């Protein structure tokens, strides 16, 4: 089955700097890669996603890039703000038994220092 | 975005009792719902996949007789933790797949504490 590796596990940046989180996946058939932001004790929130037919997608300060050949995808946050501090999870879709499901990375705790 | 309602948000129970957690998609039909368990500072661990009108598919290592899942309608799935024990204490989160836009939305989670 699918395996998703996420790095780094923790990331600390100064306000205004950029943050990059990287994920690799193992199943070349995966075709959907969402990113979730989870604040302490709250539900994961979908912040951006990308499908395998595109290489990059942007939404204001957030962007995701996908390299299908290398089987890795990255989240880029520019001009970071303290409210960006949270745990971020990447995921890759995996088809099993006719049902598509997501496999999550272990998460990255991002701290943005004012 | 779509709304997924999960209740209760927090429950404390005695060892040996059963606890039911509800997950509802409020403004879309969810033919597929997922149940996860999350330990502190760890990732989401998929427990089972629930398809409306059929039996749930459990991940390896998850006891189906202990974690009963029912998905009786297109908007409701329930997880019942039977004969709960302290080791079942955890944060349980559901998610629902919106087939229209193929996106996954999460419930707010349930913190279960078994004394």
Using one digit for the tens of pLDDT, what is the confidence trace for B21-38? 999 999 888 888 999 998
Minimum-distance CB partner of B103 among A49, A103, A109: A49
Kindly determine whether residue A97 and residue B57, on different chains, have CB atoms separated by under 8 Å. yes
Residue-level pLDDT at A96: 62
pLDDT-derived band at A95 (thresholds 50, 70, 90) equals: low
Residue-level pLDDT at A99: 63
What span, in angstroms and rounded, lies between the C-alpha atoms of B3 and A18?
Answer: 31
Q: Which residues in chain B land under pLDDT 50?
A: none
What span, in angstroms and rounded, lies between the C-alpha atoms of A60 and A98?
Answer: 35
Better pLDDT: A99 or A112 = A112
Strand ordering across the sheet containing A56-59: A4-7, A19-25, A72-77, A62-67, A56-59
Kindly determine whether residue A107 and residue B51, on different chains, have CB atoms separated by under 8 Å. no
Which of A76, A79, A78 lies closest to A63, judged by CA? A76
Q: Residues near B49 by Cβ (< 8 Å), separated by ≥ 6? A: A99, A101, B32, B33, B34, B56, B57
Minimum-distance CB partner of A101 among B42, B46, B93: B46
Q: Which chain A residues contact residue B102 at CB under 8 A?
A: 32
Minimum-distance CB partner of B49 among A36, A42, A99: A99
Mutate to test the interface with A, among B44, B59, B99, B109 (most CBs of A within 10 A): B44
- Residue ranges of chain B whose CB lies within 8 Å of a chain A CB: 1, 4, 6, 32, 34, 41-44, 46, 49, 51, 57, 93, 97, 102-109, 111
Kindly determine whether residue B1 and residue A106, on different chains, have CB atoms separated by under 8 Å. no
What span, in angstroms and rounded, lies between the C-alpha atoms of A99 and A20?
Answer: 31
What span, in angstroms and rounded, lies between the C-alpha atoms of A89 and B40?
Answer: 14
- Indicate the burial class of B43 (C-beta count within 10 angstroms; 0-12, 13-18, 19 or more): buried
Give A33-65 pLDDT, tens digit per residue.
999 999 887 888 999 999 888 899 999 999 999
Q: Which chain B residues contact residue A102 at CB under 8 A?
A: 34, 46, 104
Kindly determine whether residue B109 and residue A49, on different chains, have CB atoms separated by under 8 Å. no
- Indicate the burial class of A20 (C-beta count within 10 angstroms; 0-12, 13-18, 19 or more): middle
Q: Could you tell me whether strands B103-106 and B90-98 are parallel, antiparallel, or unpaired per DSSP bridges?
A: antiparallel
Residue-level pLDDT at B1: 65
What span, in angstroms and rounded, lies between the C-alpha atoms of B78 and B94?
Answer: 9
Residue-level pLDDT at B40: 82
* Alpha-carbon distance B106 to nearest alpha carbon in chain A (angstroms): 6
Residue-level pLDDT at A41: 77
Strand blocks (E) in B1-115: 4-7, 10-13, 19-25, 32-38, 44-51, 57-58, 67-73, 76-81, 90-98, 103-106, 110-114
């Amino acid at each position: 089955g699918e395996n998703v590796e996420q790095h780094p596990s923790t990331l600390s940046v100064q306000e205004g700097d950029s943050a990059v989180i990287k994920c690799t996946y193992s199943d070349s058939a995966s075709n959907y890669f969402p990113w979730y932001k989870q604040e302490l004790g709250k539900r994961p929130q979908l912040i951006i996603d990308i499908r395998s037919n595109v290489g990059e997608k942007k939404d204001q300060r957030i962007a995701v890039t996908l390299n299908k050949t290398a089987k890795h995808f990255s989240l880029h946050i520019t001009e970071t703000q303290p409210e960006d501090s949270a745990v971020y999870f990447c995921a890759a879709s995996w088809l099993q038994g006719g049902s598509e499901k997501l496999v999550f990375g272990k998460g990255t705790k991002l701290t943005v220092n004012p | 975005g779509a709304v997924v309602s999960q209740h209760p948000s927090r429950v404390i129970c005695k060892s040996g009792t059963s606890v039911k957690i509800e997950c509802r998609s409020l403004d879309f039909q969810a033919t597929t719902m997922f149940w996860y368990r999350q330990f502190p500072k760890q990732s989401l661990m998929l427990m089972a996949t629930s398809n409306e009108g059929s039996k749930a598919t459990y991940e390896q290592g998850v006891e189906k007789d202990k974690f009963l899942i029912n998905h009786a309608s297109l908007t409701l799935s329930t997880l019942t933790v039977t004969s709960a024990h302290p080791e079942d204490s955890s944060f349980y989160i559901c998610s629902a797949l919106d087939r229209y836009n193929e996106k996954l939305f999460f419930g707010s989670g349930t913190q279960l504490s078994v004394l």
